Chain A
Amino acid sequence: MYKRRGRQQYIASAILFVLLLSPVAIEAQSGNSDCLACHGDKDLVTTDSTGVERSLYVDATQMENSVHAGFECVTCHVDVAPASHPDGSRLARATCGTCHENAVTEVGESVHGKASLEGEALSDAPTCGDCHGSHEIRATADSLSSVNQRQLAFTCARCHANPAIVQKYHIPIKDPFTAYSRSVHGRLTIAGIDSAATCSSCHGNHKIFASNNPASKVFHFNIPQTCGQCHQAIMQEYNDSVHGVAVARGSTDSPVCTDCHTEHGIESPKVATAPTAPRNVAVETCGRCHASTRIVEKYGMRAERLSTFADSYHGLALRSGRLSVANCGSCHGVHNILPSSDPRSMIHPSNLAATCGTCHPNAGENFTRGPVHMTMEEKEGKTIAVIRFIYMTLIIVVIGGMFIHNALDFVRKSKQALRRE
């Protein structure tokens, strides 16, 4: 979306070209020179309403790099009254909306636009210029533009990684910038991959809403579609899965992409710290819901899925650091997780030999005979419980008997030894 120049930009460029060659352009330049007579002075300052001194200097050369090169000052600073202005009367903000009507309307509805309407926030809420720059506004496709893919995260971070602002406005996510710059998206962006996701890919640009707003691209139910902009095949797999179907039915508990992959800090499962990495997936990702009493009870799911795995050979080996053994995803799939009753499911009885066969090449019929997550509920589980009980009794009786026998022996021999002395 950043590569394509908008039609408006072409028209603007064409007009600009004509203007620069025409006497009108000279006229315009001379109009700006009236302003620059004062604003070209590097020492020109004013004191704003909070008592802070601000420079009023305008570097005319910045305009040469701008998409607005050749525009008159008054095109944007519309309320300049040439007769009275030099007395120092304050001007309103430059108006972008005369030309960029849609953008201004969209921003007005966004979380940023709403914030700027709340009096106190006025000075902090971003205006057009805070993101796009003022006199040096470059095209989005220009890699030096503050809203270019390579720059955008730094631009948003000016506020969103600023602890004072984050705290003042109770922004729940404290530092998305650090997480993003570590993430697979951030690292690809830094590496110069133009298609990698940046802030606006998931949040939108002008229409940024809080995540609880159904219009937001990061609203729980919109996230699969947002990620699906790039990860289309995965989105389709997910939509068919038990999780995707539950989300489509309105479950706020059923995970969307970000629940497993995290949001700003998305990392490849090959990165050891990723919640989807083999060593973490059972506890940090699947276990968060499948070992949660609240969720297991609410949805009538089978209990002890995590503990039975963790104590199995696969679970123990994984906890030891052997990453090649099966984790949740090896048997259940990743995006395509389906209940065992579904013939498409990797753990449907007819597919088990193939699923287990990935690691156990000779997996046959016997792989299907017996529950994998064995609990006391199963009849086989009761057999196990009986064996366990027999052994526990045996250990207590035998080892206990040995202990008593030898404790008596020790006491008796010690007494005799003392008597001899």
Chain B
Amino acid sequence: MSNQNNNHEYYERWTRVERYQHWILAVSFIILVITGFALKYPEAAWVQPLLLLEGQFALRGWLHRIAAVVMVMLSCYHIGYMVFTPRGRFLLKAFAPNRQDWADLKDNFRFLLGKRTAPPEFDHFSYMEKAEYWALVWGTVVMSVTGFLLWFENLALKIFPLWMMEVFTVIHLYEAWLATLAILVWHFYYVIFNPDVYPLNQSMIDGKMSVHEMEREHGRELARLRAESMVPLEEDAEVTPKEISQM
């Protein structure tokens, strides 16, 4: 697997444009988290560098709004991508929750509690990844709506009474906690601290996933791919990752 040119040992997990989407999302999300909690905890030591110019220029606030606009634009692009491209529609279908997820969850808990020797085999997305994705969608909607209402408070107040602004503020704060903790506890575990991938799951960098990783994390998908394409076992495979993703 050390030989990068030997394409047959890798499956394409993420296309280039999907990786761009992910990293734009990651950067804007991190900026939003830092600049957002900086407003809530203005006396904290880590916040002070952000507030150096506060008297003259509201750096923190503008970084937050710029990152928010980037994230919302990205989300709009992503919706288009998911709806109007074949690859997007494939991903959307793969993200759809189904009965198998429930069975996988139960099986995985059996494994985690030592009642099964191996974890269940997952399809293109495991229930962990599906939960992650839909939590992100939900969080983005909630944060965008409440965030814009708070940003354009004069317009919001043409529709809502003053006390509703307090409701939006509370929702924005608690949803921020929920999102941040979910990323730290759920996402960072699977892509960083998980002993299988530590120190980092590389697939969002190079877009590739090895056969070994496919077997471990997406066994059901691998089996199906092999069955559908009659791709021989790794030693004489001549299919490029691109071809696989188009199948």
A residues bordering B, Cβ < 8 Å? Answer: 313, 316-317, 319-323, 360-364, 366-372, 374, 378, 380, 383-384, 387-388, 391-392, 394-395, 398-399, 402-403, 405-406, 408-410, 412-414, 417
In the complex, chain B residues whose CB is within 8 Å of the CB of A320:
38-39, 42, 47, 51, 54, 60
Q: Is the CB of B174 within 8 A of A392?
A: yes
Residue of A nearest to B173 (CB): A391
In the complex, chain A residues whose CB is within 8 Å of the CB of B39:
316-317, 320
Interface of B is mostly: helix
B194 contacts partner chain A, Cβ-Cβ < 8 Å? yes
In the complex, chain B residues whose CB is within 8 Å of the CB of A369:
161-163
Among B180-188, B219-227, B232-240, the stretch that binds chain A is B180-188
Q: Is the CB of B178 within 8 A of A360?
A: no
Q: Is the CB of A387 within 8 A of B171?
A: yes
In the complex, chain A residues whose CB is within 8 Å of the CB of B189:
406, 409-410
Q: Is the CB of B157 within 8 A of A366?
A: yes
Q: Is the CB of B174 within 8 A of A364?
A: no
Q: Is the CB of A398 within 8 A of B178?
A: yes
A384–B165 alpha-carbon span in the complex (Å): 11
In the complex, chain A residues whose CB is within 8 Å of the CB of B111:
412
Which residues, 121 to 151 on B, are CB-close (under 8 Å) to A? Answer: 150
Quote the shortest CB–CB distance from B160 to chain A (angstroms). 7
Residue of B nearest to A311 (CB): B40
Residue of A nearest to B184 (CB): A399
In the complex, chain A residues whose CB is within 8 Å of the CB of B186:
402, 406
In the complex, chain B residues whose CB is within 8 Å of the CB of A414:
195
5 closest Cβ contacts across the A-B interface?
Answer: A370-B163, A369-B161, A391-B174, A370-B162, A321-B54
A76–B179 alpha-carbon span in the complex (Å): 88
B99 contacts partner chain A, Cβ-Cβ < 8 Å? no
A360–B157 alpha-carbon span in the complex (Å): 10
Say which residue of A313, A323, A364, A405 sits within 8 Å of B112 (CB atoms): A405
In the complex, chain B residues whose CB is within 8 Å of the CB of A362:
154-155, 157-158
Residue of A nearest to B164 (CB): A370
Q: Is the CB of A366 within 8 A of B160?
A: yes
A322–B193 alpha-carbon span in the complex (Å): 39
A277–B39 alpha-carbon span in the complex (Å): 21
Q: Is the CB of B163 within 8 A of A380?
A: yes
Given A360-B157, A368-B162, A395-B177, output 18 extra A-B contacts at Cβ < 8 Å. A316-B42, A321-B51, A321-B54, A363-B157, A366-B158, A367-B157, A369-B163, A372-B162, A378-B163, A380-B163, A392-B174, A402-B185, A406-B186, A406-B190, A409-B189, A412-B111, A412-B112, A414-B195
Q: Is the CB of B157 within 8 A of A364?
A: yes
A319–B40 alpha-carbon span in the complex (Å): 10
A332–B12 alpha-carbon span in the complex (Å): 63
B94 contacts partner chain A, Cβ-Cβ < 8 Å? no
22 examples of A-B residue contacts, CB within 8 angstroms: A366-B157, A366-B159, A366-B161, A366-B162, A367-B162, A368-B162, A370-B165, A370-B166, A387-B171, A392-B174, A394-B178, A395-B174, A399-B181, A399-B185, A403-B185, A405-B112, A406-B185, A406-B186, A408-B112, A409-B194, A412-B111, A414-B195
Interface size class on chain B is 35 or more
In the complex, chain B residues whose CB is within 8 Å of the CB of A409:
112, 189, 194
Q: Is the CB of A380 within 8 A of B112?
A: no
Given A366-B161, A399-B182, A409-B194, A384 contacting B166 (CB threshold 8 A):
yes
Residue of A nearest to B135 (CB): A398
A391–B175 alpha-carbon span in the complex (Å): 8
A321–B42 alpha-carbon span in the complex (Å): 9
Q: Is the CB of A402 within 8 A of B182?
A: yes
B153 contacts partner chain A, Cβ-Cβ < 8 Å? yes
Which residues, 92 to 136 on B, are CB-close (under 8 Å) to A? Answer: 109, 111-114
Quote the shortest CB–CB distance from B64 to chain A (angstroms). 12
Q: Is the CB of A370 within 8 A of B195?
A: no
A398–B113 alpha-carbon span in the complex (Å): 19
A52–B167 alpha-carbon span in the complex (Å): 78
B24 contacts partner chain A, Cβ-Cβ < 8 Å? no
B73 contacts partner chain A, Cβ-Cβ < 8 Å? no
Which residues, 181 to 236 on B, are CB-close (under 8 Å) to A? Answer: 181-182, 185-186, 189-190, 193-196
In the complex, chain B residues whose CB is within 8 Å of the CB of A367:
157, 162
Greatest chain B CB density within 10 A among A319, A362, A408, A409 is at A409
Quote the shortest CB–CB distance from B70 to chain A (angstroms). 22
Q: Is the CB of A410 within 8 A of B195?
A: yes
In the complex, chain B residues whose CB is within 8 Å of the CB of A394:
174, 178
A405–B185 alpha-carbon span in the complex (Å): 10
Residue of B nearest to A361 (CB): B154
Q: Is the CB of B153 within 8 A of A360?
A: yes
Q: Is the CB of A371 within 8 A of B185?
A: no
Given A394-B178, A399-B185, A410-B193, A322 contacting B55 (CB threshold 8 A):
yes
Q: Is the CB of B55 within 8 A of A319?
A: no
Greatest chain B CB density within 10 A among A364, A403, A412 is at A412
B245 contacts partner chain A, Cβ-Cβ < 8 Å? no
In the complex, chain A residues whose CB is within 8 Å of the CB of B114:
412
Quote the shortest CB–CB distance from B136 to chain A (angstroms). 13
Greatest chain A CB density within 10 A among B112, B162, B175, B186 is at B162
